[in-house]
Amino acid sequence: MDQVESPHAVVPLEAGAGPENPPCPACGEPLFGWIAQKPGLAGAVRRCESCGLGVVGEPAGAEEALGGLDARREGETIRIENRASFACSLGGAGWSGLHPQARHLFTVEAVRRLVARRDQVVRSRRWRPLASLAATWQTLLNSVTFGHDVALGALREAPSRPAAQPWQRRIDGLASIVLALPALLIALPVELAGGLSGHGSVISVRVELF
């Protein structure tokens, strides 16, 4: 049984179940509040303390989450922005994976539990170093900009949340240019440590039938 330890007692996660903490679509454990609603997101963000899945807005069932996985398929693999990454832990609400199209924020463990519902298993996983470095770099830049994912949105067709005011957008553009190299120098060791320890920002998983 999954449990949460406190200084005084060991409390089962199930004890937190209720209207405010609906079940996780992947594993059924309660979802707990993580990030309040932000402009450009469908709602507040909850996360599962057991499998790590994050859900933006009101959670639905496993079928919707599986559909979100299928939409990330690239040939024989599924590419996820890893909510269990060092970049996510470092960035919090500024994590680059929290873009306007985000609905389910996957971890490898959440993928494993979801695909088991249709008699599949995760056969392998692979860290995507270049994509991961870009995500970590953008996460660091998000900490100094009014908007979200401004640099990646300008460099390629990536989802972004520009700042509301023109003056803010001008500052964001300048900050993204001036701080691009310093952010990269910080992102390199962060992402290298994450990738080598299984907590890279972007991961491809191969899913097959039992």
- Cα distances from 110 to residues 48, 62, 144, 183, in angstroms, run 9, 11, 31, 30
Burial 105-114 (b: 16+ CB within 10 A, else e): bbbbbbbbbb
**pLDDT at residue 119 tops 50:** yes
What span, in angstroms and rounded, lies between the C-alpha atoms of 161 and 153?
9
Q: How far apart are the first and last CA of the chain?
A: 25
What span, in angstroms and rounded, lies between the C-alpha atoms of 115 and 65?
10
What span, in angstroms and rounded, lies between the C-alpha atoms of 60 and 10?
29
pLDDT digits (tens, 9 = 90+) for 124-168: 999 999 999 999 999 999 999 999 999 998 887 778 889 999 999
Residue with more model confidence, 40 or 172: 172
CB atoms within 10 A of CB 90: 17
- Name the residue ranges covered by the structural domains of the chain: 3-209
Burial 180-203 (b: 16+ CB within 10 A, else e): eeebeeebeebbbebbeeebbbbb
Cα–Cα–Cα angle for 132, 138, 140, nearest 5°?
105
Among candidate residues 39, 37, 38, 17, the one with its CA nearest the CA of residue 28: 17
Whole-prediction pTM value?
Answer: 0.86
pLDDT band at residue 60, thresholds of 50, 70 and 90? Answer: confident
pLDDT in the model for residue 39: 82
Among candidate residues 140, 124, 150, 143, the one with its CA nearest the CA of residue 204: 124
Tokens of 17: 């179940």
pLDDT band at residue 3, thresholds of 50, 70 and 90? Answer: low
